Amino acid sequence: MKGYQFKRLRLIGENTLNWIKSVFGGLDSFGSIVLSFFDFPYKVQQDIAGVPSGFSSGYYEIQLQLFAAADEGRTEPPSERRRREEKEKGNVPKSNEVASTLVLLGGTGVLFILGDTFIRNTAIFIKKYLPMGMKLDRFGAEEFRVILTGVSRDFFNLLWPVLAITLVFAIVGNVVQVGFMFSPRALSFRFDRIAPNFKRVLPNRQTLFNLLKSLAKVIMIGIISYVLISGDFLKVLLTGNMGMMQAIKLITYSGFKIMMAAGLLLLGIAVADFYFQKSEFEESLKQTPSEAKREMKEDSGDPVMKNRRMQLARDMMQGNMLREVPKADVVITNPTHYSVALSYEMGRDSAPRVIAKGENRLALEIRRIARENDVPIVESPKQARLLYAQVEVGQEIPQEFFNAVVQILITLEKFRKKVGMG
């Protein structure tokens, strides 16, 4: 079945146009600038029935493909270069939910551990400064400065353990996702970060997932709060008959249970959100075939030029190899397809060494040079094929070739004289 995609949205009628005019203050030149600033291209045309042209009689056309087709054709997996560039920009897959949930759990935990101390210090703080707050009109500027300094100092001393723990958990929440990373480019000013953009408002997978995530949070926290408060409801009603510290401890403990239970459930949402953000990030990095091809071309160069460079390298290597043929002790041939030139230097080599080899045209060239330089040529099809396939230029022949090659070499008068056998 052929798939169809909506390419434009046409808004018709006075109500729509009046709404647009009310938003943009009329569709004059200023309104046009505003619309273009919001990346909202529009088109006003004369009605087919011949209605005079004008904004009130036309239609407003939104090109939806600007939003829906942003990632069309992105089928190629992201390259390492693409990942590296995005990381340098500070774009990495991470979930803000992980850090915020860890901050919630860490802050709640430290408040519970330091609960008695925190409540006692808070009571001391209130007893110390509340009476002063009722007499502020009696203080002069210098006294007020001293009081303000004392309030700031004592308030910081009261809260710094909680602030320190939450800061640590905020850092940990990001480090566990992306590791230790510093990106100066992410700190640079970019206007597109603050420029309005309707693409961010239109429904997409990200906004829909965020909506579902927010609804899940509200529902889960509501259920948890209801269940836990119901269990402590009768105790809370009796706080009027308790001492102040006992009532505070009861209410604080109930709040702690709610916060910890909510935090643990939110941690599950945070994990799901992290994997969703990672999946969305991978999807956003995908490339079109043309982008992947262009990137490959930029990284490795033009394929045509690359092939030419490889050919030049092969030609250079072959040229160097052919210059070694006159130094060979023997050239073993197929005789038509393969040629392998061997050399042996007593005291330097532990076995004969391949100094040149080739097939077809190159094999003929090796034999030609060998004949011109009086290098013996021996036909041994089997040994020529095996040596060509298994031994690279510059390598000594393996032990399994020793007997066959030695039998060839000792039949050559020139070689026997070279090694003192003739």
Helix residue spans in 179-204 (DSSP H) = 184-187
In whole angstroms, give the CA distance from residue 215 to residue 415: 91
Better-predicted residue by pLDDT, 161 or 17:
161
- Residue 281 — pLDDT band, cuts 50, 70, 90? confident
Q: Which of 7-11, 21-25, 169-173 has the lowest mean pLDDT?
A: 7-11
Q: Note if the bond before 335 is cis, omega within 30 degrees.
A: yes
Looking at residue 6, its pLDDT comes to 41
137-171: pLDDT as tens digits: 677 777 778 878 888 888 888 888 888 888 888 88
pLDDT, mean of residues 82-89: 77
Q: What percent of the chain has pLDDT over 90?
A: 0
Rg (CA), the chain: 41
The mean predicted confidence, pLDDT, of the chain is 73
Question: Does residue 397 contact residue 387 with C-beta atoms inside 8 Å?
Answer: yes
**CA-to-CA dists, residue 134 to 126, 139, 153, angstroms:** 12, 11, 20
Beta pairing, strands 330-333 & 377-379: parallel
Distance between CA atoms of residues 209 and 203, nearest Å: 10
Q: What is the DSSP string of 272-298?
A: HHHHHHHHHHHHHH-B-HHHHHHHHHH
Residue of 173, 375, 126, 345 lying closest to 270 (CA atoms) = 173
pLDDT in tens, 55-80: 444 444 444 444 444 445 677 777 77
Using one digit for the tens of pLDDT, what is the confidence trace for 253-279?
888 888 888 888 888 888 888 888 888
Give residue-wise pLDDT tens across range 377-420.
888 888 888 888 888 888 888 888 888 888 887 777 666 666 55
pLDDT band at 200 (very low <50, low <70, confident <90, very high): low
CA angle 96, 217, 278 (to 5 degrees): 35
**For the whole model, what pTM was predicted?**
0.46
State pLDDT tens for residues 322-340: 888 888 888 889 877 888 9
Q: What is the DSSP string of 92-157?
A: ----HHHHHHHHHHHHHHHHHHTHHHHHHHHHHHHHHHHHHHTTGGG--HHHHHHHHHHHHHHHHH
Q: How confident is the model at residue 51 (pLDDT cuts 50, 70, 90)?
A: very low
What is the rounded end-to-end Cα distance, in angstroms, of the chain?
Answer: 86
Length of the chain measured in residues: 422
d(CA 370, CA 17): 91
Question: Taking a C-beta distance cutoff of 8 angstroms, is the pair 360, 337 a contact?
Answer: yes
The answer for residues whose C-beta is within 8 angstroms of residue 42's C-beta and 6 or more apart is 35, 60, 61, 62
pLDDT at res. 188: 55
**Backbone angle region of 387, left / alpha / beta, with phi > 0 → left and psi within -120 to 50 → alpha:** alpha
Q: Which residues contact 277 (CB under 8 A, 6 or more apart)?
A: 93, 94, 95
